[in-house]
């Protein structure tokens, strides 16, 4: 990319922060700083790089999507992250949301069911120097028990219900943010807090549209 092209992307990134994020109520300074730091154009195909800072999803390999910037920021803010939190993401996709999370917490664990996406995200993290993200290829509806419990879990695909393994792998005091709905296409974004070992509190945040979460405890 030319120097002029890069300058334009820097400008568009600032517009994204000001208009799509701050303008729509994102206030967490750590989230805003992370969204400013991660170059979204690196997570999409070169042919659509110029559209990287529009507030919409974009296609990635495997018929999947990279979520719109506002939703990434909103879900990240909803996790109420602290620096030392252990975070699990289900649905690595392009790796963009994991990269944003990795600027806020020390380690991010991310699970992706499609090998092609897991591999390209790994290569991207290596190229960009994001060394604190660990990817596992598999069915994320089962979580990733090896590193549990997690202080925060975020699911970036729409589930028919909250997968029980994710509830089990949530630490007491932990937050789970997940799109849930009876249709594969429209969901409610839900936040579940584990307030005690057997006590979970659920709240509905907003309406969202995600590709389906496919797996043993998904679609
Ligand atoms: N977080 C991603 C990003 O920043 O690019 C966007 C994720 S995309 C909307 C949803 C992803 O969830 C897809 O990559 C899809 O393959 C993945 N997925 C669907 N079901 C899954 C499952 N059971 N386990 C892990 N990943 C799954």
Cβ atoms of 98 and 127 within 8 Å: the answer is: no
Residue ranges of the chain with pLDDT lower than 70? none
pLDDT value, residue 3: 85
pLDDT value, residue 184: 82
pLDDT value, residue 6: 84
pTM: 0.97
Report helix angle 29-37 to 69-78, nearest 10. 140
Pocket probe mutation, ligand 1, options 95, 97, 156, max atoms within 8 Å of Cβ: 156
pLDDT value, residue 183: 85
Q: What angle do CA 52, 55, 56 make, to 5 degrees?
A: 80
Yes or no: domain 57-208 corresponds to CATH 3.30.43.10: no
67 catalytic? Reply is: yes
pLDDT value, residue 1: 76
Which residue do the tokens 């990795």 mark? Answer: 102
Tokens of 210: 């995600």
Pocket probe mutation, ligand 1, options 130, 144, 157, 164, max atoms within 8 Å of Cβ: 157
């Amino acid at each position: 990319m030319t120097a002029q092209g890069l300058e334009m992307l820097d400008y568009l990134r600032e517009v994204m922060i000001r208009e799509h994020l701050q303008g729509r109520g994102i206030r967490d300074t750590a989230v805003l700083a992370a969204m400013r730091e991660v170059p979204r154009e690196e997570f999409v195909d070169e042919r659509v790089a110029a559209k990287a800072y529009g507030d919409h999803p974009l296609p990635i390999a495997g018929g999947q999507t990279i979520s719109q910037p506002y939703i990434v920021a909103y879900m990240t803010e909803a996790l109420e992250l602290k620096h030392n939190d252990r975070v699990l993401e289900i649905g690595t996709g392009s790796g963009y949301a994991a990269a944003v999370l990795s600027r806020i917490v020390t380690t991010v664990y991310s699970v992706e069911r499609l090998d092609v996406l897991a591999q390209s995200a790994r290569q991207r993290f290596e190229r960009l120097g994001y060394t604190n993200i660990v990817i596992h290829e598999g069915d994320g509806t089962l979580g990733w028990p090896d590193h549990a419990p997690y202080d925060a879990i975020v699911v970036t695909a729409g589930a028919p219900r909250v997968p029980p393994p994710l509830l089990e792998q949530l630490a007491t005091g932990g937050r789970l943010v997940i799109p849930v709905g009876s249709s594969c296409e429209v969901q409610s974004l839900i936040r579940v807090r584990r307030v005690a070992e057997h006590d979970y509190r659920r709240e509905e945040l907003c309406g969202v549209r995600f590709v389906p979460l496919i797996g043993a405890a998904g679609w």
